[in-house]
Amino acid sequence: MRLKSSIWVAAYLRRCQTEGVFGAVSRRGAEEAGAVFVKVALMDGNAMLYAPAPQTVYDDSRPAERLFLPIAPQPVPEPSIDERLAKEVRFDPDAWIVETEDRAGRHFLDLAKN
């Protein structure tokens, strides 16, 4: 069983905070199971975007884990990330958007499981 999105987001933001990375929810989605998108702003006008992995990536041995795939793993202009997120929200109004700011681009998504 996977954690509620609201609990996962709170834990993720706490993880960022303990590493000295500012993070905030810029859009609240569905408490139970809203998709979570993570924007990593590099504070130079560029950003990266991570989106939930499709269900085909999951295997039966780790069904509770949240996996993310880079949509923009290399820095791109921040407005293009914002446009993509606006499209995602139009498609899925239950989606969450979490934004972090870190000049080094740290995101901790490989460590933020469940």
User: How far is it, in rounded angstroms, from Cα 97 to Cα 25?
Assistant: 6
Q: Is residue 71 part of a domain?
A: yes
Q: What is the pTM of this model?
A: 0.87
Question: Helices (DSSP H) in 21-60: which residue ranges?
Answer: none
pLDDT higher at 12 or 3: 12
pLDDT of residue 72: 76
pLDDT at 15 over 50: yes
Handedness of CA 23, 65, 50, 106 (dihedral sign): positive
β-pairing verdict for 36-41 and 46-52: antiparallel
Domain with 9, as residue range(s), is 5-101
| pLDDT given for residue 67 in this prediction | 85
* Nearest CA-CA partner of 4 in 40, 37, 29, 38: 29
The answer to whether residue 85 is domain-embedded is yes
Taking only the tens place, the pLDDT of each residue in 28-82 is 999 888 899 999 999 999 999 999 887 655 555 555 578 888 997 789 999 999 9
- Assess if residue 43 is contained within a domain: yes
Residue 107 falls inside a structural domain: no
Residues 95 and 44: their CA atoms lie apart, in Å, by 26
Residue 111 lies in a domain: no
Tell me what pLDDT residue 50 has: 95
Query: Which CATH number do you get for residue 26?
Result: 3.40.1530.20
Q: How many domains does the chain have?
A: 1
The pLDDT of residue 114 is: 39
Residue 19 forms part of a structural domain = yes
pLDDT of residue 113: 43
* pLDDT(102) > 90: yes
